[in-house]
């Protein structure tokens, strides 16, 4: 387990576990100056029949936090992100054909990115869902072919990465940018505070 991180005020946070293997979420937490252990949660991420996108990401974040068994003094941070196009959940594309299909679905229009975030210390748990509206430029076939060829879409919900080359496809964002990347940092800090943990 990584050592606790101290803040400028001398506060020492509890040990932290990130219940995700996402390199984007790891990078976002590192930007806060936190030290933490990465322990990906192994759960079934299938969508239940009729499950709305917001409820889906909230449920998965809670299940991920519960799946990572740690001590009562460890702060667990879990999250799940999905792209919502008119209520349809877009996960991670399995191949180039699916990636092109997802890019076509978001092309020239607005969609929403939802991230469910759960923080847990012992049996105490806090969950929130953050939603961000994203406007995408019209994507022609040549642009879609270029972007798929970068390889970037294949481990990203919705088939694009706003922080990478996919940023060239984004016309505008209404809401949290870190949420679109995979972890709304202001919400993480607020939930931790509600659990009595002051993150830097």
CA dihedral over 63, 67, 71, 75, signed as positive or negative? negative
Residue-by-residue DSSP string for 116-160: EEEEEETTEEEEEEEEEEEEE----HHHHHHHHHTTGGGGSGGG-
d(CA 124, CA 141): 49
Q: Which residues lie below 8 Å from residue 24, measured CB to CB, with a gap of 6+?
A: 161, 163, 181, 182, 183
φ/ψ of residue 189, rounded to 5: -65, -40
Residues annotated as catalytic are 80
């Amino acid at each position: 387990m990584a050592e606790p991180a101290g803040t400028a005020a001398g506060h020492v946070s509890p040990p932290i576990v990130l219940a995700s293997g996402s390199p984007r979420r790891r990078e976002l937490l590192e930007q806060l100056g936190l030290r933490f252990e990465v322990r990906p949660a192994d759960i079934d991420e299938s969508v239940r029949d009729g499950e709305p996108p917001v409820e889906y990401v909230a449920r998965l974040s809670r299940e991920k936090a519960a799946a990572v068994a740690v001590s009562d003094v460890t702060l667990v941070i879990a999250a799940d992100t999905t792209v919502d196009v008119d209520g349809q959940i877009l996960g991670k594309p399995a191949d180039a054909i699916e990636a092109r299909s997802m890019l076509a679905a978001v092309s020239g229009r607005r969609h929403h990115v939802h991230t469910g975030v759960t923080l847990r210390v012992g049996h105490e748990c806090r969950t929130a869902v953050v939603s961000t509206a994203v406007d995408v430029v019209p994507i022609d076939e040549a642009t879609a072919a270029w972007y798929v060829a970068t390889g970037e879409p294949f481990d990203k919900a919705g088939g694009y990465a706003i922080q990478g080359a996919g940023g060239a496809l984004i016309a505008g964002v209404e809401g949290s940018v870190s949420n679109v990347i995979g972890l709304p940092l202001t919400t993480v800090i607020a939930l931790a505070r509600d659990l009595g943990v002051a993150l830097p």
